[in-house]
Amino acid sequence: MRVAVIGGGPGGLYTAALLKRQDPGHEVTLWERNAPDDTFGFGVVLSDETLGGIEGADPDVYAALRRSFVRWDAIDVVHRGRALRSGGHGFAALGRHRLLRILHERCRGLGVDLRFRTEAPPAAELARGHDLVVAADGVHSATRAAHSGHFRPTLTTHRCRYIWLSAGFAFDAFRFEIAETEHGVMQLHGYPYAPDASTVIVEMREEVWRRAGFDRRTEEETLRACAALFADALGGRPLRSNRSTWTAFRTVVNARWAYGRTVLLGDAAHTAHFSIGSGTKLAVEDALALAGQLAAHPDVPAALAAYEAERRPLVESTQRAARASLEWFEELEWRRDRTPRRFAFDLLTRSRRVTHDNLRLRDPAFVAAVEAEAGVPAGTPPMFTPFTLRGLTLRNRVVVSAMDMYSATDGTPGDFHLVHLGARALGGAGLVMTEMVCVSPEGRITPGCTGLYAPEHEAAWRRITDFAHTAAPGTAVGVQLGHSGRKGSTRLMWEGIDDPLPEGGWPVAGPSPLPYRPGVSQVPRELDADELRAIRWQFANAAASAARAGFDLLELHCAHGYLLSSFLSPLTNHRDDAYGGDLPRRLAYPLEVFDAVRAVWPADRPMTVRISATDWAPGGTTADDAVTVARAFAAHGADAVDVSTGQVVPDERPAFGRSYQTPFADRIRSEAGVPVIAVGAISSWDDVNSLILAGRADLCALGRPHLYDPHWTLHAAAEQEYAGPGVSWPVQYRAGSRKPPVGRRG
Task: Give me the amino acid identity at 63.
Answer: A
Please indicate, yes or no, whether residues 115 and 196 belong to a single structural domain of this protein: yes
Give yes or no: residues 666 and 556 share one domain: yes
**CATH number of the domain residue 620 falls in:** 3.20.20.70
Does 366 map to a domain?
Answer: no
Q: How many domains does the chain have?
A: 2
DSSP class of residue 38 equals: -
Looking at the structure, tell me whether residues 47 and 153 fall in a common domain. yes
| Contact residues for 84 (Cβ-Cβ < 8 A; gap 6+) | 76, 77, 78, 340, 341, 344, 366
Strands (E), 562-716: 607-612, 640-644, 676-678, 699-702
Looking at the domain assignment, is residue 739 inside a domain?
no
Phi and psi (nearest 5°) for 37?
-95, 0
Q: Which residues, in sequence order, are CB contacts of 526 under 8 Å at separation 6+? A: 509, 510, 511, 512, 513, 575
Rounded Cα gap, residues 535 and 443, in angstroms: 9
Domain assignment of residue 738, yes or no: no
Q: What is the torsion angle, in degrees rounded to the nearest 10, for the CA atoms of residue 66, residue 69, residue 74 and residue 78?
A: -160
Active-site residue identified among 191, 259, 307, 562: 562
Residue 303 within a domain? yes
Q: pLDDT below 50 — which residues of the chain?
A: none
The answer to whether residue 398 sits within a structural domain is: yes
Instruction: Provide DSSP, 396-457.
Output: SSEEE--------BTTB--HHHHHHHHHHHHTT-SEEEEEEEESSGGG-SSTT--BSSSHHH
Do residues 325 and 658 make contact, with C-beta atoms less than 8 angstroms apart?
Answer: no
pLDDT of residue 36: 86
629: nearest Cα among 569, 573, 580: 569
Q: 534 in helix, strand or coil?
A: helix
Residue 681: per-residue pLDDT = 87
- The per-residue pLDDT for 743 is 62
E-state strands within 206-323: 239-240, 247-254, 258-259, 262-264
Q: Quote the CA–CA distance of 213 and 346 in Å, as a whole number.
A: 30
Residue 530 within a domain = yes
Looking at every residue in the chain, the average pLDDT score rounds to 95
What pLDDT shows up at residue 224? 97
pTM of this structure: 0.91
Residues 293 and 421 in one domain: no
Same domain, 139 and 264: yes
CATH code where residue 281 lies: 3.50.50.60
Q: Specify whether 395 is located in the same domain as 316.
A: no
Q: 236 and 167 share a domain?
A: yes
Contact 263, 302 (CB under 8 A): no
Catalytic residue check, 562: yes
455 lies in some domain:
yes
Tell me which residue range forms the domain holding 153: 2-330
pLDDT at residue number 745: 56
The span from the CA of 23 to the CA of 27, in Å, is: 9
